[in-house]
Amino acid sequence: MPELPEVEFAAKRLRDAVAGRVIASLEPLHPSQQRYLPEPARRAAEGLTIARVERRAKIQLVHLHNGAILEVHFRMTGDWEFTRVGDAPPRHERVRLETADGVRVSLVDGRALSVVRLHAPGAFVLPAIGPEPLTDDFTAEGFRTALARRRGPIKPALLDQKLVAGVGNIYASEALWEARINPAAPAHRLSRERVTRLRDAIRLVLETAPTERYYGREDVNENDIWRVYGRDGEPCRRCGATLTRLPQAGRSTFYCSRCQRR
């Protein structure tokens, strides 16, 4: 599943490919997409200029010059492929956008769970999302205030987009390992020092994220990438103890019970 760093990279690729260009056509190519992009929406998009591409949490927002917005969710397996109008279409193409000067953007998605929606000018409302972790908005003090109101364990709290935007299951485990915090530690009891360490760890794991993992470099071995994620039964790279898998709120958490303290 693409997490924040992968979606950030995808948004950048889309921006580089289409910003400033005019939409010639927008076409859903799979039944799963037709209800999100009904005929009137597709017609409304034609002739509009793409002003800019923004990412908020894991949502890509394509701002059109008249104020309309294309909202894109990759969900489990979505991605962009860029070709020229007239080229052979890529596999698993679900939505196709063509620009007046011949750029073809395909949303490819093996599982067809992605969503592309067009919102009329002024109609889009961003869901309640916390600060972006890689910006100055994500302060240790603000993070601490938000965590102080949480009664549950820290790991599931990190997945709540209202706390901090775009931290998914993999990076939550990785950040807690970096910060030496046990995923079951009560969120509201973390000291100021540990909250600061966790904030820095979240930024570190997102900044150094191996986006090639998602972008098809086949020589990438998942085991070489992660410190804890998916490595239960293997030794901790910091202390050598055996890593554990813990089911939490329906998701798997991976951690070291020796050097990650409650």
Contact footprint for Zn ion (CB under 5 A): 236, 238-239, 241, 256, 258-259
| Residue 154 or 256 having the CB closest to Zn ion | 256
Is 5 designated active site? no
Nearest distance in Å: CB 207, Zn ion:
22
Nearest distance in Å: CB 186, Zn ion:
21
| Residue 126 or 239 having the CB closest to Zn ion | 239
How big is the CA angle at 37 (ends 36 and 41), to the nearest 5 degrees?
130
The active-site residue, picked from 55, 58, 144, 199, is: 58
* 186, 159 contact by CB (below 8 A): no
Is 247 designated active site? no
Sequence-distant (≥ 6) Cβ neighbours of residue 51 within 8 angstroms: 19, 63, 64, 65
Nearest distance in Å: CB 236, Zn ion:
3
| Residue 121 or 240 having the CB closest to Zn ion | 240
| Residue 63 or 238 having the CB closest to Zn ion | 238
The active-site residue, picked from 15, 42, 238, 251, is: 251
* 83, 18 contact by CB (below 8 A): no
| Residue 64 or 201 having the CB closest to Zn ion | 201
Residues written for the chain:
262
- First CA to last CA distance, the chain: 29
Nearest distance in Å: CB 177, Zn ion:
8
Burial 48-79 (b: 16+ CB within 10 A, else e): bbbbebebbbbbbbbbbeeebbbbbbbeebbb
Is 31 designated active site? no
| Residue 69 or 198 having the CB closest to Zn ion | 198
DSSP 204-244: HHHHT--GGGTTT-TT--HHHH-SSTT-TTSBPTTT-PBEE
Is 251 designated active site? yes
For residues 78, 83, 87 and 90, what is the CA-based torsion angle, rounded to 10 degrees? -20
Nearest distance in Å: CB 114, Zn ion:
37
Nearest distance in Å: CB 254, Zn ion:
11
Among 204, 168, 179, smallest CA distance to 4 is for 168
* 228, 155 contact by CB (below 8 A): no
Whole-angstrom distance, CA of residue 219 vs CA of residue 16? 26
Please list the active-site residues. 2-3, 58, 251
